Structure 1
């Protein structure tokens, strides 16, 4: 959907995330100065970036589509980075 020249994506899932058979994504990450650049091989939901340094991020908690690059702007160098997504957080039985 486009509103005021901004593109908004909407995702609808047909069950609770914990009931979905999600494929664990391979999220790649590299830092270029104060930018964090992410991409994924399969859809990734609820992607959260945790940085070593206390920084402000331009975005966090992303839904990512494959082969798309996502650039997060940081207020300063982020240091070490950890990436989490909803597939990491779902309890598996």
Structure 2
């Protein structure tokens, strides 16, 4: 059985930061101050996406795989109407463990 997609977006963008880093940054949310948002408990109330662009030359074989790069950090907030109207089986597939 196929279900229709909701009429609204799940998350809406609310911010963007650009950082230059000497190494790849994993879990960048640890290093930025995030606003407090209401959490429904069913889904993550906020998504932080870090797009990393290396500024070092790529190698095909073994070699340096880390170095200076640019980080575009995008912040998204959960839509309140999406969280309320989302069917239970969708929530179970999206929920973070």
TM-score by length of 1: 0.30
Higher strand content, 1 or 2: 1
Higher helix content, 1 or 2: 2
TM-score by length of 2: 0.29
Greater CA radius of gyration, 1 or 2?
2
